[in-house]
Chain A
């Protein structure tokens, strides 16, 4: 009877631990998902602002042959690789806009352009914040699922490590942004 009691007690403890760990992993996963949507929102804002900037820059470049190409378009359900590529193409576009602005003093002093520059600076700070929040959540989630004994529950849930969102300098050259 005592042995049965001990066995039932141990089973109960294991069940409680399993449920708590299962829920904790689920909550962490949810936080990763939420913060990923934060990145998408920031990327979309950045895309919109950059598109407006490109329009303004194109207006100043009309008499020249070169025309700015489009930035990698954003769409829902992008993979992490696609997100990184989109982000890198925006980085590239931004640096090229700055090069053009250097050659056109009127563009630099244009009210519209100055306002867009301020907006893009703020949008980029939001993107940085969203990226850091996402990476912090991924770190916490990954640590949770790979450490023992949580890894047992994570294995049973088929939980896999999440990928970090980092702008890789090397990948930036993959996206051609020509004028």
Chain B
């Protein structure tokens, strides 16, 4: 399928989605009007025997409305999936190869729960989902990233509550300084950091920068690791990154760095509320890619052994 065919098909799917959403809301409203008019006509003195009875129409409507809503929502969901797939195939897959090598992109799947647990970033709840998995090599650095949502659902029987532990993007990439046992850094406003990643007993460390200590919590199994990894230059770069992303959590272990950025989801996701323009979408993908590059550059700049 050429670009032009893909764009036409995307537009067709987008219009169809708008129609399906419109029908989902429209059918119950029209049905209610219909039922109302029946009530009105049967109550009027001129009502004849041939007038449909509201008492018969009510159960039929009660069956028709939910069934039609469910069917329409299923159709809309299928339509949206097809739209998303075509968008990613048309715009994302080809673009990624321009920026990274050894690209592997799987928009339907993400990290496994076990992988995310081993990242040492967030507490693990009992609801987990991950999608938009991307793996590639940038400047000899192998990286993986995916959108991740972790929630804890609690049900007492009488009431239920859901707490979101983490919703954002997680990265895993090779880190040149590989002699680190266990080091975790997180923004002070992140309340659900994993308490003892990889089973290490962690101790809190204060660094020389008052500003950094005010914004971040640093925990490590060995104090030396914290001072070895977090150089004054890296402190500055993390501070700069945190002005863009409010809540971050990172974990260094062995030769890997795991990074979680809250609130930063829907990478490479298409907008369905407006007509697509090829140059605009290319630019949107470029911006998403640039975000990934900025994160990798920030965390690995001047760290070379």
Contacts and interface: CB of A to CB of B under 8 A. Distances in A.
A126 B305 contact: no
A130 B305 contact: no
Interface string A118-131: 10011001101110
Interface in B196-247: 206-208, 223-224, 226-228, 231
A129 B305 contact: no
B208 A125 contact: no
A128 B224 CA distance: 10
A70 to B, nearest CB: 28
A121 B224 CA distance: 17
B206 A136 contact: yes
Given A118-B305, A121-B305, A122-B305, A129 B228 contact: yes
A132 B227 contact: yes
A133 interface: yes
Given A121-B305, A122-B305, A129 B224 contact: yes
Interface residues of A, number: 15
Nearest to B207: A136
Interface in A126-162: 126, 128-130, 132-133, 135-136, 140
A130 B227 CA distance: 7
B72 to A, nearest CB: 61
A130 B226 CA distance: 10
Interface in A98-136: 118, 121-122, 125-126, 128-130, 132-133, 135-136
Contacts of A135: 208
B208 A133 contact: no
A151 B207 CA distance: 24
Contacts of A132: 208, 227
B218 to A, nearest CB: 12
A129 to B, nearest CB: 4
A121 B177 CA distance: 11
Contacts of B226: 133
Nearest to A133: B227
Interface in B251-275: none
A125 B227 CA distance: 9
B116 to A, nearest CB: 29
Nearest to A134: B227
Nearest to A31: B223
A125 B228 contact: yes
Contacts of B208: 132, 135-136
A55 to B, nearest CB: 22
Contacts of B207: 136
A133 B305 contact: no
A130 B224 contact: yes
A63 to B, nearest CB: 33
Interface string B29-66: 00000000000000000000000000000000000000
A126 B206 contact: no
A38 B224 contact: yes
Contacts of B227: 128-130, 132-133, 136
A64 B226 CA distance: 45
Interface string B149-184: 000000000000000000000000000010000000
A130 B228 CA distance: 8
A35 B224 CA distance: 8
B231 A133 contact: no
Contacts of A128: 227, 231
Interface of A: 35, 38, 118, 121-122, 125-126, 128-130, 132-133, 135-136, 140
The 8 closest A-B pairs by CB, nearest first: A129-B228, A129-B227, A133-B227, A132-B227, A122-B305, A133-B223, A129-B224, A38-B224
Given A125-B177, A129-B227, 5 more contacts: A38-B224, A130-B224, A132-B208, A133-B223, A133-B224
Interface of B: 177, 206-208, 223-224, 226-228, 231, 305
15 contacts: A35-B223, A38-B224, A118-B305, A121-B305, A122-B305, A129-B224, A129-B227, A130-B224, A130-B227, A132-B208, A133-B223, A133-B224, A133-B226, A135-B208, A136-B227
